[in-house]
Amino acid sequence: MALPNRKPAHQPESYDPKVPEIVGMVEQVQGNVEPRKPYVVKTANGGSYIDDAPMLGWGKWQDNTYCGCIAAVTEVLGAPVSYETLMGVSGLCYRIGIKVNLDPSSEIPQNGDVWDDQISAAIGYEMYAIEGERKRGKRARGNLDTGRPVLGMGLFADPEWEILTGYDKTAFFGRSYFHTQTPLSRQPLPDMPGEYLRAVNYPGVYPEGFMRFFDKPCEKGDPLALLKKSLEICIAYWNHTPRADNRFGEAAYRLLIEKLQNSDEAWKADCGCMHYHIGCLADARRSAYVYLRDASALLGGMKQQKLMEIAGAYQSIADDILAVTPYEMLNVAWAAGENGAVAWSGEVRHNLVAMLEKAIETEKQIQVIVKDLLERWEEPESYDPKAPEIVGMVEQAQEQQEKIIKTFDYNGIAVDLVEWPSTTWCGKIGYADSNGDEPNVDKIMGDFMVLDTKIAIDRYAKDWDACVSVNYLSPQNPNGVMIGFVVGSEQQPDGFDIYKVPAAQYMRIRMCKETAKALGRKTFEGGIPPYEWIGEQIAPKFGYTYGDPSIPIFEYYGHYNPKKNGHEFTYLYVPVQPKSYDPKAPEIVGMVEQAQEQPVALPSDTVADPFAGGEPPRTSNRITEYRRIQNWENYFLASAICSVAKLVGFDEEALTMFAENNGNKGMHFFSAITGDMFTPMYDTLDEKPADSGFTACFFAPQVIKRAFAAFGRDCTYLSAAYIKENLRTVTNAIKASIDKGIPVLAWGMGNVTLLNGNCCDLMPEGCLIGGYDGDTLHVNLYCGPERVETDDDGYTTSADGLLGSKGLFFVGEPIEKTPLPQIYREAIAAIPSLLTQPPAEGILFGRAAFDLWADNLLDETNFTGKTEEELGGLIWSLHCKPYCNVCTSNADHFIRAAAPEVEIAAKLLPLYERFFKCKDKIWKLSGGFYPPAKKFRQRKFRAKIAALLREMGAICGEILKVFEEGEAK
């Protein structure tokens, strides 16, 4: 899980401390650091006070009052420990705990488990409390006389951690996080500089437990041991059980999401507290990033890389929050007492909901990596300040070899997707005498053992050797085995064989009994590597399949242990690639991501010029008998696919049973494959044709490959770049296809002139090229004669329109048709991905789409003072546009047809039936598709629609739970 370390748009300089605290901690443990001088103690008014003690306050990236106060104490004592380190060693940086009423006191760590022993070990003082009022007061004065602040809770105002820094004849006084909040009255202290506040609520809340003294020095803990315990606390906090009215982990996230989705009226009551909680979350995750980033210096090799992954993941959560709302609107505003001044808009709340949903998934991925790291903790590569670090393969690989792209959890084991650049392997290699046989591995090993490997030039990862299996995925070539290692130079001494491997992606697993158990296999004890564990069992689950067969499989062995007569580590690497390359085995995994990464996900094919060296046989031609795209079909790409399928003999009638004779004649069969059918959308910027479905907004050419495979044809895809570079060849290929009676499917067409004279550089929806006259093409578009000039055969002419197309798709040779049950299963399996896409290019998906849709209908500022013309535009953009997309869907009919073949479909069917009943109720309320403007001005009318929309959004959540429960089984 390589999450990017992005810097947020609004980032105070203190967001990213420049000096690693861990280095100082190691030096302190070794006794190499001189402590600073403690703060000066002065006397006045019959008491003592610490001169100029540090100020406290929210909005300074120290928003946890407990760790913020302790950091201030260590500063006063002359042995400062940073806030980030305290948050890290205590594990509080991983905590999220929220009370059901959103009370700000939710953030007090003591509402749940707290690991004070970790903090004591980090600061070198055993923190403790005292029972008995007189004894406690005497100890407090004694500590203050010697310059030691005392911690308490609720000393000055509401229950939060605060500091006593002095006393006089009448009272204690000190520092509070509430100091800068204007509602807090200040009582001046004569002859005492520094704006100290009287502790008017002394001794505060539960003083016999919630008071901390710092007069008992203790031995500082080993930073590496503190780090290990910190990661164990990370797991404990995520799985923390509810305590009274406090919720933790995912339940706390869900509580925030629920509150953010409240109505405007309910939201106003919670907005200030929500600012505070979101701010504290950003602060905690930023602290986790800083602590773990610095602590990575304690580790080496793979463990160091894993820790940096975790740090980057936490930074991504903090950055995502700040991308939605700047820090200045969170705890900085709270610190100034302005917590209720600015209520977030519906859009901001929606973006925060999307951010929190994404954070939940990130947190779950973090848990997988942390567990894996802890399981490997006792392996070599540990930090030893007195000895050189053990150099592991991955440590050098960070710059020279592999890069971890993502980590998956398969039944509790970690599966890494890694990327290797081109590499040179050095050792001994041998091949089988013929295909199907095995090479003489004993001889190869013997030849390798007699080599003096110490003289190899520029060897990487000296403690790691490999057994490379060559051609095992390529049966037409003889199998080979190489025993060797990676080097940086092809120039090697005599006797060494060289084998070069191009850049590739691999999935890797650790070969051990735990892995075998998780896979339901016997422990691997040698022989041909069990590459099918990855290629046929693990990879398909995550949307991957075997990679280029010319890329070898290899086992990597690390750190030979003479006592065990074996290596400490063995990893199996199998080349993989996204499964979307295979039209016979389609699976939708993050369609928006695929769309945005299209050049990587699906490279362009090529076509030959059918008329190269000669003249085409015709100057013009057109297909007149074909299924035309109708503007009421709305999912125009699916309609265009259906038209092509029909012309090549697709048995359309056999697959329309779920359409219930609604007239679309199989179009919806393809809208299920493309994902249009299952993707509710809301266009926040009103810039996309979201009414026409996912494929009108995002370019994902792999869905065409899937759709063509469904009716038994291969597909040739030409990218926009290829079209521009090979325009003559492409134009001739289109003409040749038309001459065969088969139109060419275009994803968008440029240079289309409308009846009003406007020229569209790109009509983004799918269309059919079915005729030509010279180089002028005849295109069947969804927009009929009411918008463009159309001839009797349904065509609009387009000169140079190809230059505006995103891609072309030619019908290829017959292939085995994808079985209908498989089509049902794969279309349904894609639903969770389609409902949970993160916001992209102004589009919200699934429940987030419905919630913002409802919010906008209830936001009176959208409608107050609008003219009739303006209101008409708003009715379309705020309601009818997304409603058009929903109305086009036929998902309930598809699920009903799939129920006999797909077990989960039967569980989904009642939910989809409820979903479309809500859609029908909206139609009935409005008296049709387009509601009257007079009604739409009435909030009461819009509120009824909004309630139905929220119910539809909630049903999206219930649909996802069905899938989650299925995975749990």
CB contact at 8 A, 457 and 495: no
What pLDDT does 433 receive? 87
Beta-carbon contacts of 307 under 8 Å, excluding residues fewer than 6 positions away, are 292, 295, 296, 299, 373
- The Cα-based distances of 898 to 660, 823, 828 in angstroms read 14, 9, 9
Residues with pLDDT less than 50, the chain:
1-13, 18-20, 23, 25-34, 182-191, 338-341, 381-400, 580-590, 593-594, 596-601, 657-664, 968
Q: Which two tokens stand for residue 677?
A: 């059918």
Containing H/E element for 359?
helix 346-375
What pLDDT does 905 receive? 94
Nearest to 875 by CA among 790, 924, 958, 937: 937
Q: Which two tokens stand for residue 754?
A: 């409308």
pTM: 0.46
Condensed to tens digits (0 to 9), the pLDDT of residues 206-218 reads 898 899 999 999 9
Residue type (1 letter), 179: H
What pLDDT does 596 receive? 44
What is the distance between the terminal CA atoms of the chain, rounded to a whole angstrom? 24
What pLDDT does 586 receive? 35
Containing H/E element for 500?
strand 497-501
Question: If you search the block for the tokens 């030979």, which residue do you land on?
Answer: 560
Phi-psi region of 169 (alpha: psi -120 to 50; beta: other; left: phi over 0): alpha
* Ranges of H-type helices in 859-902: 868-874, 881-888, 891-898
What pLDDT does 590 receive? 45
CB contact at 8 A, 464 and 558: yes
Q: Regarding beta strands 763-773 and 744-749, do their DSSP bridges make them parallel or antiparallel, or are they unpaired?
A: antiparallel
Helical axes 903-926 vs 820-829, angle rounded to 10° = 60
**What are the phi and psi torsion angles at 746 (to 5°)?**
-115, 135
Coil, strand or helix at 613: coil
Sign of CA pseudo-dihedral 647, 649, 650, 653:
positive
Torsion of CA 22, 28, 29, 31, to 10 degrees: 150
Condensed to tens digits (0 to 9), the pLDDT of residues 53-87 reads 888 888 888 999 999 999 999 999 988 999 999 99
